[in-house]
Amino acid sequence: MAVLTDDQVTAAVGTLDGWEHVDGALRRSVKFPSFLAGIDAVRRVAEHAEFKDHHPDIDIRWRTVTFTLVTHSAGGITEQDTAMAADIDRILAA
């Protein structure tokens, strides 16, 4: 699996909702109306991640959940990460 170039990552981030390229990874933080709403979103993302066998790092701080994507085995951001970011966008919009 090929690591994307910075230009490819920048182009992908432009098509995603609220994602940024930080420290060699894709990152998005979302503030939910309640702690339980955030936990429910994490559950839905986790179910999808299990199905896809590609798992984001997830940090939960009260109502704010941060998703971070990088393909560690490839040493950077890959198409698998940008696809999962788009999937997370769709899951959170539902």
For the chain, state the CA radius of gyration: 13
pLDDT at 7 (0 to 100): 96
3-state secondary structure of 17: coil
pLDDT by residue (tens digit) across 62-93?
999 999 999 999 999 999 999 999 999 999 99
CA 40 to chain centre: 16
Q: What string of DSSP letters covers 64-89?
A: EEEEEE-BTTTTB--HHHHHHHHHHH
pLDDT at 1 (0 to 100): 80
